[in-house]
């Protein structure tokens, strides 16, 4: 069932970038990223454990993007993600 949500959301994002966003180089790069990620989602990389190639692509592109942000924006992004994780933890704790 998780694959259904993954493919549905990726196709939605691809349709959004293809038909809604303005025609720029960034739109092309995002569309290529989404389609490549969908292609790589069926492949696994096996080290001492199994890891999906799409997750690795997200991680590598996220590291590259964080390098382009600069230190101030990266710190702002990390604070924001920490707040989101804390908020999710509180709701999961209340659920259980």
The whole-number pLDDT of residue 49 equals 82
- In the chain, the percentage of residues whose pLDDT exceeds 70 is 99
User: What are the structural domain ranges in the chain?
Assistant: 1-42, 53-96
The structure's pTM equals 0.67
State which residues of the chain have pLDDT below 50: none
Query: Is there a contact between 31 and 14 (Cβ–Cβ < 8 Å)?
Result: yes
DSSP state of 45: E
Cα maximum dimension of the chain: 46
| Phi, psi torsion values for 62, nearest 5 degrees | -65, -40
pLDDT digits (tens, 9 = 90+) for 24-37: 998 999 899 999 99
């Amino acid at each position: 069932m998780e694959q259904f949500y993954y493919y549905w959301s990726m196709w939605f994002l691809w349709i959004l970038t293809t038909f809604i966003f303005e025609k720029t180089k960034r739109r092309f790069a995002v569309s290529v990223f989404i389609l490549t990620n969908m292609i790589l989602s069926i492949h696994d990389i096996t080290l001492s454990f199994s890891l999906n190639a799409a997750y690795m692509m997200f991680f590598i592109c996220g590291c590259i993007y964080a390098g382009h942000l600069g230190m101030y924006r990266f710190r702002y992004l990390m604070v924001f993600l920490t707040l989101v994780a804390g908020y999710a933890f509180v709701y999961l704790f209340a659920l259980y």
